[in-house]
Structure 1
Amino acid sequence: MVILTQACPIQRPFGSHLYKRRRDFQLLDKRSWSLKPLIPRVSEDQDTDYQLRAVAKLLADEMTANGQVIGIGTGVAVNEYLREISERLGDGRLSGVRCIPSSDVSASEAAFLGVPLTTIEDVNGNVDLMVDVADELDLENLAYIVGRGDNGPQANQPSLPRVRQLLEKARVRVVVVDIAKTGRRLGGSVPVLIEANEDIWEDIAEELDDIFIGDAEIRRRSVNPDAGPRGGNSPVITTDGNMVLDVQFLEGLKLFGKDEIYDRIVAEIETVDGVLEHGLVVGVARKAVVGTVVVSAIGEDGQEEVKEESGPRVVHL
């Protein structure tokens, strides 16, 4: 058990200008599930369409089987994977596959392609595979960020509660990410989902501001990209009916000025009353495979298998 105390005067966009906090802090246990990176490498002799097709083919060849229930994230790589599934269902190479989307746009894409949909409730929580798409991936710790809103229109963003539920239920989990969005320390912003209540959102923002003071700025996400920290008069409301606060880190993800382990940052976010979900996903795998198109997967039995194509290399972390 660690006791944290900090006090300092500072100008802030929310609440008073002086804060003092003392909090009992307990490190979260490691997640019981593991994370598998799927990394297409951008190069001069391979265009994006080729890479996406190769990723989709690899997923379908090595990860997908008849009768599976598959959770799907949101993004162009997932759309290509859905097209591959649709083709194989059509020509008989696959049968009985059903998908659970993490966003309305993924649901629409699957329906358009004729891929059968289901729900977690209908399959009693039995999900064979989850294919997610990361905004950024930490290769060393196999942690990633999802739901930033910087990969297209807000309508294309995943439902964070649905993503988290699918990750927790799935027996095998794969994350797709561009090699250019990988590194040794996550940076940028972490989305935090809160209730869409004008009477309480500032209190939640102030508490997050207290936690990450000097390390990050808190902004209410707005449909207007030029809006200030408070989000103006047009805050984003998600398909689940919630608001989004973006914790925008000034450098890499830090806590009290230090590069703390991600579990501690997760713990601090989750202690704030009113926080419903967030986009910082932390896994426990300790190996990545980096190459043109690669997969490192840990299955239900806990045994690691490396699926590869086009000259990957294994990185021991």
Structure 2
Amino acid sequence: MQNTDKEKKIAAKEAVQLIKDGMIIGIGTGSTVNYFIEELGKKVASGLKVKGVSSSTKSSDLARSYGIEIMDDFEGTMDIDVDGADQVDGNGNLIKGGGGALLREKIVAFNSRRVCIIVDREKMAGDRFGSFPLPVEVTPYFASGTIKHIEKLGSHCKLRQNGNFVTDNGNLIADCEFGKISDPCILEKKIKSIPGVVEVGLFVNMTSEIIVGSENSAKFIKLK
């Protein structure tokens, strides 16, 4: 197992310790979350009673394969949301959407009492925040025009897989290179003001805690 995979698994194992009997769990999307689902499945097999609300078809299918009950029409508040991130800045703000599930991930996070982000050390970007292209979900209708308006904010954008990547919501993903993002709150508002933008992969002031996996242990960063 590569070091990053080992770090992801360690972070995931620590996150599972936060799950208590009877919880409604938000389940994110991505390689680190896959480890969380695997570890949660082991707990469920041992008798833990939980229900999940997933942010993607892939995560739902994986969770169900491990015997985790996934609700498709839950309209309440999740006790905790466990998700990954592509990058984390020094204030706990996130870039997400590398897996293309950013809209549903943000909906799940917004409707959760607690948002726990699990990452390997490389994801802690610090001053590099923004070096990972920012995913923006856009409507297929007039997508090229929408992208031109995003680029006016100082980025270079391209449709993921030349427009052949389609989200679970039937939309497209524009990967936008802004370089260093020093004020994610303002940038998020500017991008979301553009008609045709469905959601932005900036998660600002949403994180409750971050679990950073290292080679042999995990570090907890409490934010709320």
Same fold, TM-score > 0.5, yes or no: yes
Cα displacement string for residues 244-282 of structure 1 (whole angstroms, at most 9, x for unaligned residues) = 111112x312xxxxx4x2111111101111110111111
Structure 2 CA distance for aligned equivalents of residues 76 and 288 of structure 1 = 16
Q: Distance in 1 between the 2:210 and 2:82 partners?
A: 16
> Aligned-pair distance for 1:293?
0.5
- Whole-angstrom distance in 2 between the partners of 1:284 and 1:130: 11
Alignment of 1:185-264 (within 5 A): 185=127, 186-188=129-131, 189-197=133-141, 200-212=142-154, 216-222=155-161, 231=162, 235-249=164-178, 251-253=179-181, 259=182, 261-264=183-186
RMSD, aligned α-carbons: 2.5
Instruction: Supply the distance in 2 between the matched residues of 1:99 and 1:91 (Cα, whole angstroms).
Output: 17
Residues 1:118 and 2:71 aligned together: yes
**Rg bigger for which structure?**
1
Q: Which runs of 5+ in 2 are unaligned?
A: none
Deviation per CA, 1:280-306: give whole Å up to 9, x if none. 1111679978663122346xxxxx5xx
Equivalent residue, structure 2, for 1:144: 94
3-state SS of 1:170 partner: coil
Kept after mapping to 2: 8 A contact 1:174/1:297: no
* 1:89–1:270 distance in 2 versus 1, CA, 3 Å: same
Q: In structure 2, how many angstroms separate the alpha carbons of the residues matched to 1:167 and 1:57?
A: 20
Which of 8, 30, 35 is equivalent to 1:75?
A: 30
**Residue equivalent to 1:173:** 115
Q: What TM-score, normalized to structure 2?
A: 0.87
Instruction: Answer yes or no: is the 8 Å Cα contact 2:25–2:82 preserved in 1.
Output: yes
Residues 1:58 and 2:2 are matched in the alignment: no
Structure with more helix by fraction: 2
**Structure 2 residue 52 is the aligned partner of structure 1 residue 99:** yes
TM-score by length of 1: 0.63
Q: 1:238 to 1:50 in 2, by over 3 A?
A: closer
Conserved in 1, the CA contact under 8 Å of 2:118 and 2:210? no
The runs of 5 or more residues in structure 1 that have no matched partner are 1-45, 149-156, 223-230, 254-258, 299-303, 305-317
Instruction: Indicate the structure with greater strand content.
Output: 1
For 1:218, the aligned partner's letter is C
What's the CA shift string for 1:4-23, capped at 9, x where partnerless? xxxxxxxxxxxxxxxxxxxx
Is the 8 Å Cα contact of residues 128 and 171 (structure 1) preserved in structure 2? yes
